[in-house]
Amino acid sequence: MAGKQEAKPLSFKAIEMMTPGDKDKADIGENRGLRVSSGATGVKSFFYRYTSPVTGKLAQVKIGNFPHTSLAAARLKLNELKLLRQEGR
């Protein structure tokens, strides 16, 4: 019986293997909200995607481009942005 594949955390290799126009990849667990998008030109960008507590709408903040911004640095920035959001900023 074929089941749904188990979600895995983002990895350097998975991001590196993305090709232009690939579907966005999302991190899981404590890094939920971190997404990587591969644009038409092949530029891979990290985003923090969340639901705005003010408007209730989906919002996103660009964190940086891969590989200039590493996955570890993107996760650190994600945690900073989550703290700001919790403080209502």
Specify whether the CB–CB gap between 69 and 15 falls below 8 A.
Answer: no
For domain 12-83, the question of CATH label 3.30.160.390 is answered with yes
Cα pseudo-dihedral 19, 23, 28, 30, rounded to 10: 80
Residue 53 token pair: 């507590």
* Cα(80)–Cα(10) distance, integer angstroms: 18
pTM listed for this prediction: 0.86
Residue-wise pLDDT for 37-75, tens only, equals 999 999 999 999 998 878 889 999 999 999 999 999 999
